[in-house]
């Protein structure tokens, strides 16, 4: 008891002041640490991302810091489950008249399509809000980089959509489109030193029909273990977006060639399409794993784009494929004949075993509902616009594979934009 009194007596005012100041300093230190931690959570700088220095670099950083993408958890959001909501307050960022880079086969309005409701359906996932595509932010993220879409005509559909989404904010003298080779086209945004490219490789691996197209499926031969000739054009690209599906679906079996055959193409074997597809994807995956540095290159794979050629799938018994459809399918989980689940499982199993991380853009389910948004009779047939006689025969001439632009591929690019 005497010790306690003595101790209290010895605590002079200067000592008490020192103790209070020390406690205050420690409190401020931890408050600062907590504040810094929350700041990092709000805007996470990417150690692997680099931006080319420019006169606008400070503005670019501020633009990124204030963008809604920073609040969006792309890895927690399930983009597959959701519904299409009609929203006329949202206008497309371009039209097929304002964007000169759209091929005629996707330019539905220019080719005579009069209804416009298909332009105003917006995909809304169940458990998150998908960020809107901001052309300026997209270009800032691509500054000093090459983005390349690799695949078939559906991938070309997506590539042209991406180009049109960003090109309107670029001055005419600061943008260009060049054809590097027969299968390689490059859109350049000069001010950002960015390129948005397309490389034609419908099977990803090589085939005898890549450029000299054989319309008879029986004549197509896929070389499932040959990719080097194509893949050398993908080296040095910062962001690669792959797809391959529709060209595999002409037959139940694929003429498949691999290894060394003295008789050339005569040495092929007929394999079930999923088997041949798996062999080709393994060749692609092996090339990615053995060649790509994931610290330098981001890899995406876009899942199958569904076709809508069997109208009974959505209950329109009296319809003709996708012709004259003006609204999406509203039944949750609708899945038609135009998407092959076995092929989708092949993609999942191959990517799961890869060393290099591949982000899957799962566009299949959300696109399954959009029976209303295909080119239909407002596209091309064998490179030529449909005649009036052909338009009057949708059973034979309606294109229910490709999509009008603007349209559904813009939503695919909203997903891609969220991951960039």
Main-chain dihedrals φ then ψ at residue 257, nearest 5 degrees: -125, 135
Main-chain dihedrals φ then ψ at residue 118, nearest 5 degrees: -60, -15
Do residues 373 and 120 touch, judged by C-beta distance below 8 A?
Answer: no
Q: Please tell me which residue in 54, 153, 294, 381 is annotated as part of the active site.
A: 153
Q: Is the peptide bond before 406 cis (omega within 30 degrees of 0)?
A: yes
- DSSP E strands in 119-193: the ranges are 121-125, 146-151, 175-181, 184-189
Q: Please tell me which residue in 79, 308, 374, 402 is annotated as part of the active site.
A: 402
| 399 carries an active-site annotation | yes
Do residues 196 and 134 touch, judged by C-beta distance below 8 A?
Answer: no
**pLDDT for the residue 384:** 87
> Cα 255 vs. chain centroid, distance in angstroms?
29
**Rounded CA gap, 79 and 129, in Å?**
9
- pLDDT category at 77 given cuts 50, 70, 90 is confident
% of the chain exceeding 90 in pLDDT: 71
What integer best gives the mean pLDDT of the chain? 85
**pLDDT for the residue 268:** 86
Q: Please tell me which residue in 60, 134, 225, 399 is annotated as part of the active site.
A: 399
Per-domain residue ranges of the chain: 82-419
Tell me the per-residue pLDDT of 165-182, one tens digit each, with 9 for 90 and over.
999 999 999 999 999 998
| 402 carries an active-site annotation | yes
**pLDDT for the residue 65:** 56
**Rounded CA gap, 229 and 196, in Å?**
21
| Residues whose CB falls within 8 Å of the CB of residue 407, separated by 6 or more in sequence, listed in order | 106, 108, 118, 119, 161, 373
Tell me the per-residue pLDDT of 8-67, one tens digit each, with 9 for 90 and over.
344 455 554 555 555 554 444 333 333 332 322 222 333 333 333 344 455 565 565 556
The residue whose two tokens read 């020192």 is 18
Structural tokens at position 27: 């409190």
- pTM of the full structure: 0.83
Q: Is the peptide bond before 362 cis (omega within 30 degrees of 0)?
A: no
């Amino acid at each position: 008891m005497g010790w306690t009194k003595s101790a209290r007596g010895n605590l002079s005012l200067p000592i008490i002041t020192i103790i209070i100041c020390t406690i205050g300093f420690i409190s401020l230190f931890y408050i600062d640490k907590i504040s810094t931690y929350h700041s990092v959570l709000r805007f996470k700088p990417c150690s692997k991302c680099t931006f080319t220095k420019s006169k606008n670099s400070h503005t670019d950083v501020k633009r990124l810091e204030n963008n809604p993408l920073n609040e969006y958890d792309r890895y927690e959001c399930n983009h597959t489950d959701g519904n299409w909501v009609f929203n006329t307050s949202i206008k497309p960022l371009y039209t097929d008249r304002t964007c000169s880079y759209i091929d005629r086969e996707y330019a539905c309005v220019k080719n005579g399509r009069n209804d416009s409701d298909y332009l105003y359906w917006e995909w809304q996932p169940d458990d998150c809000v998908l960020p809107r595509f901001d052309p300026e932010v997209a270009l800032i993220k691509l500054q000093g980089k090459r983005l390349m879409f690799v695949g078939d005509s559906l991938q070309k559909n997506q590539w042209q959509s991406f180009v049109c989404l960003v090109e309107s904010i670029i001055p005419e003298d600061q943008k260009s489109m060049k054809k590097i080779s027969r299968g390689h086209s490059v859109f350049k945004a000069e001010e950002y030193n960015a390129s948005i490219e397309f490389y034609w490789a419908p099977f990803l691996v090589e085939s005898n029909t890549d450029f000299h197209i054989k319309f008879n499926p029986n004549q197509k031969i896929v070389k499932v273990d040959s990719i080097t000739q194509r893949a050398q054009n993908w080296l040095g690209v910062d962001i690669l977006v792959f797809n391959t599906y529709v060209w595999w679906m002409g037959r139940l079996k694929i003429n498949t060639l691999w290894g060394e055959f003295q008789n050339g193409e005569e040495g092929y074997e007929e394999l079930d399409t999923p088997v041949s597809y798996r062999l080709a994807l393994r060749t692609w995956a092996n090339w990615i794993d053995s060649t790509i540095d994931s610290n330098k290159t981001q890899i995406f794979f876009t899942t199958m784009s569904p076709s809508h050629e069997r109208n009974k799938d959505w209950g329109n018994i009296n319809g003709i494929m996708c012709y004259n459809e003006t609204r999406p399918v509203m039944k949750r989980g609708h899945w038609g004949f135009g998407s092959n689940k076995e092929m989708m499982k092949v993609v999942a199993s191959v990517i799961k075993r890869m060393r290099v991380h591949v982000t899957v853009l799962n566009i299949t389910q959300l696109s399954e509902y959009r029976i209303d948004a295909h080119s239909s009779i407002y596209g091309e047939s064998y490179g030529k616009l449909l005649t009036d006689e052909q338009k009057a025969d949708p059973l034979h001439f309606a294109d229910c594979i490709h999509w009008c632009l603007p349209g559904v591929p813009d939503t695919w690019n909203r997903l891609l934009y969220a991951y960039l």
